[in-house]
Amino acid sequence: MGHAICGPVRSYAVAGSNDQDQLNDLRRRSVGARVKMLRVSQNLTQQQLADLAGLPRSAISSLEATGRNITLDTLYGIADGLGVHAASLLDDRLFRLPRHPDPDAERSTVRR
């Protein structure tokens, strides 16, 4: 399809269910690639991220390797474990938060 795996994925109308399935697969793999990129950049193992997210290691492994379809609860758990907004796992143009943000500090969510 010509999209970089970690780059933004644009939504567009697709002709058939096979095209939609391919687009959905690309989106899931992009989330998995972003999770891996953030995890590695923070020097976390899959087990360490799984522990922070309250998930089994196999959930992190299969998301990163295959783009396994995950629930919103899992997405939020992973985002919390990485110290980022859940939306940043869906769209890499969004601003990353520090690992342990000050809960009283005002947070900016979009980089412009």
Residue 38 has pLDDT above 50, yes or no: yes
Q: What is the 3-state secondary structure (H, E, C) of the chain?
A: CCCCCCCCCCCCCCCCHHHHHHHHHHHHHHHHHHHHHHHHHCCCCHHHHHHHHCCCHHHHHHHHHHCCCCCHHHHHHHHHHHCCCHHHHHCCCECCCCCCCCCCCCCCCECC
pLDDT score at 59: 95
pLDDT of residue 12 exceeding 60, the answer is: no
Please report the domains of the chain, with CATH numbers, ordered by start residue. 17-90 (1.10.260.40)
pTM of the model: 0.67
